Amino acid sequence: MVLPLTASPSLVIFDCDGVLVDSEKPMHEELRDELELRGISMSFETCLTSFMGKSIEDVIDTAAQLGADLPSNWKAILYERVFERLKQGVEVIPGVPEFVARLKTVGIPFCVVSNGSEKKMQLMLSQHDLWDDFKDNCFSAHTVGIAKPDPGLLRYALDTMNARANQAVIIEDSEIGIKSAENADVPCLIYDPSFGGGSSAVHAKSRFSSMDEISSHLFSFIGDT
């Protein structure tokens, strides 16, 4: 069950890919093309559904289960390919710079928690002058050794930031990230640009179609409107 935000948070946690930067499309395009070289053909949509939010180890395991013929150094090959694509530039999610600036103005701590590596986060966030805002509070599954949806990664970030689960909020865009929030009992706001509203939608009350909507919802509890 997704816990809704019901009070002003003492900590705002951001996922990185798809929440701070629009990196899901280029990363999964490269993954899809790489898998095709390894004997697995799938659409971009299937690739996104199958791999979005997964750690690199889970990506490798899933690809192997699908029958991909993977060399022993495939992790390094995939990383190099994805990094070269990301170096060409990724867009920041609209509204993120303003959201971060607003949090800084009112003094609410924030951090980033991701299954991706710190190196990848630095590469992407530096393109939009956001790395300095997150570099001291950056929690990567690669460094911590625990990946979403295991709640351990989020709990490690909470402990480091001296925040309780029910006093924090995390912004996620993937089912794996949402499950991680559920497992750690952290309220979650879901960024879903395709969301059209409607009370029948899954997690409808916690799902938003823009970062501006998420920011407005969060700040409605803070009273800074």
- Residue from 120, 117, 128 nearest 91 by CA: 128
Percent of the chain exceeding pLDDT 90 equals 92
**Mean pLDDT, rounded, for 206-225:** 88
pLDDT tens digits for 110-127? Answer: 999 999 999 999 999 999
Identify the band that residue 222 occupies on the pLDDT scale cut at 50, 70 and 90.
confident
Across the strands, what pairs with 110?
A: 12
Instruction: Sheet containing 110-114: give its strands across.
Output: 138-140, 110-114, 11-14, 168-172, 188-191, 207-208
Q: What pLDDT sits at residue 224?
A: 47
Q: Looking at residue 92, what DSSP letter applies?
A: B
pLDDT tens digits for 2-25? Answer: 999 999 999 999 999 999 999 999
